[in-house]
Structure 1
Amino acid sequence: MKYNNILVQQESSTATITINRPSKLNALNKDTIQELHEAFKALDKDKKVKTIILTGSGEKAFVAGADISEFANFSEKEGGKLAAKGQKLLFDFVEKLSTPVIAAVNGFALGGGLELAMSCHFRVASDNSRMGLPEVSLGVIPGYGGTQRLPQLVGKGRAMEMIMTAGMIDAEKALKYGLVNYVVTQEELLPFCEKLAGKISNNSPVAISHAIKAVNAGFKHDSNGYAAEIKAFGECFGTADFEEGTTAFLEKRKADFPGK
């Protein structure tokens, strides 16, 4: 599929999606959100893809926010629809994706950009990164999951401070807060993420997809995370990956997971 706002590359078992709107600091508009949805959907169906890296073009920004010009004149009803559609198409979609997604945060990740990074399964940041949710400075609140995912990652108090001050934090503070897993130089960012992706790709994709579901269940108010874990654990026993993994362990060899 041809995209106008993103680039998709695949090398071995790792795919990289690059948001490519450098003149807009990779800001999210409705077309980019739709293209990202289509790309993630296609890659998740591709059995050759074991891990996805998401990043932004250039060295200034991962995603500097949403494209405000698209919704500056929206009504209450239109604003609600905007948030609901965006969460369904992209942010919740990425969080629930069965293929692991690593956010390679290069530069500014603000507003919808930080919300997108937080919807990924974990984050690695370049040392020039700046992160924040500045929405209240525009008279609105984060609408793509920011008020929910940020407290889960950094705690309620820190999340409240970040949201209410509309300020930015640097990469080292993001690491201290637990918002990102690692901080590396700009030059090291993609190679480092690719190395992590390679480690993930050595493991059972079926088991990983079950693990993602189980972990996510623990953060839903209407779900029992322990029950979800038990169910997912049991389901793993009926997979070809479990048979291969246990057999390889007993035979003292590296597993070759079929992904079934």
Structure 2
Amino acid sequence: MSEHNIRVEESDGRATVTIDRPEKANSLTGAMFVEIGDAVAELADAGVDVVTIRGADGTFSAGVDMSDVPEWGSENPLAVRDQLESVHDALRTIEELDAPVVAALEGHVLGGGLELALACDIRIADDSARFGLPESEMGLAMDLGGAQKLPGFVGEGLTKYLVMTGRSIDAERAYDAGLIEELHDASSFDAELRALEDDLAGKPTYVHGLAKRQVHSARPPNIEESMQQAIHHAIAAYQEEETQRRVTDFLED
């Protein structure tokens, strides 16, 4: 599936990785996360100056494709853990790329799509973007870093609000809260994105890499341990009958 859902375009040191599954609101499978990570690793070898991750047809991503989740009930928990760890590895590849990675955010930026955006260095959005973590609606635990990384952007209060209520917020509130760094009208969004890419590409890649290391070094020292804990919490939550019922109801709607 995923080989047709991720597009990579590269020109003059700029690369764009596009989530291209508009019929499913660009929802992400585990394989698609891995393919994004692999694409970013290949771009590192190619020596690109800046990478942009965006979604096709005016929406970033509605989150993780839920169709695979019911299989967790019959799979060995260690196999589920390995699947989730492969996604964590892909997100880590994005974070560790020396070249800056920009998340270009339009429309839905939900669940795993928001967690993908958090792995990028800079988030630029248009005024159609809406941000949320709807996992609680299905009784699911956060598993891709949202609960660990989001407090560093917006604080504990808004993080708990998003995780616990499952509600979404608009782009203006996300900008005011510090979740995104630039907010533009849809009519000027692509031009502003290109200007940001040009600005970033005009500086030495090694300087960006050093900056990332310095900034990431100030993160809580237990964040990797907490990410591992998130995997086990996700597996445990899915074993609850209420969660399985809610996921089934969601897929049947």
Fold match (TM-score > 0.5): yes
Match of 2:173 in 1: 173
The whole-number CA distance in structure 2 between the counterparts of 1:168 and 1:222 is 28
Shift of 1:216: 0.8
Whose helix fraction is larger, Structure 1's or Structure 2's? 2
The whole-number CA distance in structure 2 between the counterparts of 1:101 and 1:56 is 14
The whole-number CA distance in structure 2 between the counterparts of 1:83 and 1:155 is 25
Shift of 1:54: 0.7
What secondary structure does 1:206 align onto?
A: helix
Match of 1:137 in 2: 137
The whole-number CA distance in structure 2 between the counterparts of 1:212 and 1:17 is 20
Q: Residues 105 and 129 of structure 2 are in contact (CA less than 8 Å); yes or no, is this contact kept in structure 1? A: yes
Aligned partner letter, 2:32: T
Point out the more displaced range, 212-221 or 14-23: 212-221
What secondary structure does 2:70 align onto?
A: coil
Match of 1:149 in 2: 149
The whole-number CA distance in structure 2 between the counterparts of 1:179 and 1:118 is 8
TM-score normalised according to structure 1 size: 0.80
The whole-number CA distance in structure 1 between the counterparts of 2:163 and 2:30 is 24
Q: Which runs of 5+ in 2 are unaligned?
A: 224-253
Match of 1:114 in 2: 114
Distance 1:35 1:210, change over 3 A: same
Residues 247-258 of structure 1 aligned to structure 2 (within 5 Å): none
The whole-number CA distance in structure 1 between the counterparts of 2:184 and 2:40 is 25
Match of 1:33 in 2: 33
Shift of 1:189: 2.2
Match of 1:80 in 2: 81
Q: Residues 104 and 193 of structure 2 are in contact (CA less than 8 Å); yes or no, is this contact kept in structure 1? A: yes
What secondary structure does 1:102 align onto?
A: strand
Encode CA deviations 1:100-132: one digit per residue, 9 max, x unaligned: 100000110100000001110010111011111
Match of 2:54 in 1: 55
Shift of 1:82: 3.2
Q: Which runs of 5+ in 1 are unaligned?
A: 224-260
Match of 1:71 in 2: 69
The whole-number CA distance in structure 2 between the counterparts of 1:68 and 1:222 is 29
Over the aligned positions, Cα root-mean-square deviation in angstroms equals: 1.7
* Higher Rg: 1
Q: Residues 14 and 194 of structure 1 are in contact (CA less than 8 Å); yes or no, is this contact kept in structure 2? A: no
For this pair of structures, how many residues does the alignment match?
Answer: 219
Match of 2:21 in 1: 21
Encode CA deviations 1:2-33: one digit per residue, 9 max, x unaligned: 94111111232211111100101111112312
Distance 1:110 1:94, change over 3 A: same
The whole-number CA distance in structure 1 between the counterparts of 2:82 and 2:134 is 21
What secondary structure does 2:206 align onto?
A: helix
Encode CA deviations 1:168-205: one digit per residue, 9 max, x unaligned: 00000000110001111223223212211111111111
Residues 93-104 of structure 1 aligned to structure 2 (within 5 Å): 93-104=93-104
**Identity fraction in percent:** 31
Distance 1:187 1:35, change over 3 A: farther
Encode CA deviations 1:26-83: one digit per residue, 9 max, x unaligned: 1111231222122101111112x10011100002x20100010012230454443333
TM-score normalised according to structure 2 size: 0.82
Q: Residues 105 and 123 of structure 1 are in contact (CA less than 8 Å); yes or no, is this contact kept in structure 2? A: yes
Distance 1:9 1:37, change over 3 A: same
